[in-house]
């Protein structure tokens, strides 16, 4: 479904992404993991068409993406292939627009339908992400962070994309809400077959959503393989440090002792 070959992004003398290669199969799920500055988000933005690669190839469903200005029809076509959900859903939603209208707008843009079918499709999408009628009529400010992220996911799914990119989509949520969103994404993948590209710094969440994991450090891939194998037996020292930093059950932050007065 997605092929990335020797992808590179250079800013001046700095290579933010350097020779990244991977594939994402149909209905598959791949996590791209790394700390801030590792190049994972830049990689995602190039795949989504928000950044232009300095070198390399991106192929989606057999269609190679070529850099350059696009006509509106070509942009919509790409939007029907790949959609992206960001970390902060509030900034990507119109604060004056009701949830149902935001989702309807996305449906009209990508999959135009007669009025009656449009209303049914919006209801179907909101039900898919477990939002009720009251929430559908609400403005974003009336929703919780987890509910706003569900709206962002529903709006992305309105395009019926082959690939859904989630860029730190659960990072700002409470742990219990993170678990709900991860469960929702697993259901979406199972029921409609959308392939998932999961961008995160949290290796602990990876085991719940992805088949494979790609670990990035300083713009380069340092480890790539099945999630179970990488988590059980990491080969690269950087991956080992990331896994060691995952909080263990019952872990509590160490309380800093107050300094004595001078």
Which is higher by pLDDT, 174 or 101? 101
pLDDT in tens, 174-228: 888 888 888 888 888 888 889 999 999 888 788 888 999 999 999 999 999 999 9
Q: Using 50, 70 and 90 to split pLDDT, how confident is the model at 260?
A: very low
Instruction: Give the per-residue pLDDT at 16.
Output: 96
Domains in the chain: ranges and CATH: 1-81+162-245 (3.40.50.300), 89-160 (no CATH)
Q: Is the pLDDT of residue 11 over 50?
A: yes
pTM for the whole thing? 0.87
Q: Using 50, 70 and 90 to split pLDDT, how confident is the model at 254?
A: very low
CA-based nearest residue to 5, from 50, 43, 51: 43
Q: Tokens 């004056």 map to which residue? A: 96
pLDDT in tens, 149-164: 999 999 999 988 999 9
pLDDT in tens, 18-55: 999 999 999 999 999 999 999 999 999 999 988 999 99
Instruction: Give the per-residue pLDDT at 89.
Output: 75
Q: Is the pLDDT of residue 235 over 90?
A: yes
Q: Using 50, 70 and 90 to split pLDDT, how confident is the model at 257?
A: very low
pLDDT in tens, 119-150: 999 999 999 998 999 999 999 999 998 899 99
Instruction: Give the per-residue pLDDT at 182.
Output: 87
What Rg do the C-alpha atoms of the chain give, in angstroms?
A: 20
């Amino acid at each position: 479904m997605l092929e990335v070959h020797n992808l590179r992004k250079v800013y001046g003398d700095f290579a933010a992404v350097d020779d990244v290669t991977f594939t994402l199969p149909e209905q598959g799920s791949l996590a791209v993991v790394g700390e801030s500055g590792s190049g994972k988000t830049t990689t995602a933005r190039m795949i989504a068409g928000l950044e232009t690669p300095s070198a390399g190839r991106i192929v989606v469903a057999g269609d190679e993406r070529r850099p350059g200005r696009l006509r509106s029809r070509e942009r919509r076509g790409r939007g029907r292939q790949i959609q992206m959900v960001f970390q902060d859903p509030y900034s990507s939603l119109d604060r004056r627009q009701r949830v149902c209208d935001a989702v309807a707008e996305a449906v009209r843009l990508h999959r135009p339908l007669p009025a009656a079918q449009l209303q049914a499709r919006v209801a179907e999408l909101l039900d898919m992400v477990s939002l009720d009628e009251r929430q559908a009529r609400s403005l974003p400010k009336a929703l919780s962070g987890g509910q706003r992220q569900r709206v962002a996911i529903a709006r992305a799914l309105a395009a019926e994309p082959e690939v859904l990119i989630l860029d730190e989509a659960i990072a700002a949520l409470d742990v219990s809400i993170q678990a709900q969103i991860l469960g929702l994404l697993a259901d979406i993948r199972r029921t409609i077959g959308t392939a998932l590209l999961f961008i995160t710094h949290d290796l602990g969440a990876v085991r719940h959503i992805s088949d494979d994991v790609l670990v990035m450090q300083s713009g380069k891939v340092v480890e790539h393989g099945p999630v179970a194998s990488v988590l059980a037996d990491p080969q690269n020292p950087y991956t080992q440090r990331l896994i060691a930093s995952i909080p263990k059950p019952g872990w509590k932050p160490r309380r800093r002792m107050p300094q004595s007065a001078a």
